[in-house]
Amino acid sequence: MIVHVLLFGHYKDAAPPGGGPLPLTLPGGATVADAAERLAVCDARLSDLLARARVAVNADFADGDTLLSDGDEIAFLPPMSGG
């Protein structure tokens, strides 16, 4: 299956040029944790995604155990601070 990954904040530096969603091929039954692991293999800057980022699948917050389906959109949002 193919999911579409959106990277925000400093994670966006690891995204391909153009800023669009990153297609990621995963086996059926894959979870958010599987997607994060695959991204970390592709780019070491993404090795801490699940430990530090909030995750949303199809605009709903999710966790590492969330099952993915073909065509899902996964967004990784780093912690933010404001003032």
Domain at 37, CATH number: 3.10.20.30
Flag whether 83 is in a domain. Answer: no
pLDDT of 26 over the 70 cut: yes
- The model's pTM: 0.88
Is position 82 within any domain?
no
Burial of 15 by CB count in 10 Å (0-12 exposed, 13-18 middle, 19+ buried)? Answer: middle
The runs of H, that is alpha helices, within 1-83 are 32-42, 49-52
Please count the structural domains in the chain.
1
Q: Which pLDDT value is given to residue 82? A: 53
pLDDT at 39 over 60: yes
Query: Which structural domain range is residue 67 located in?
Result: 2-77
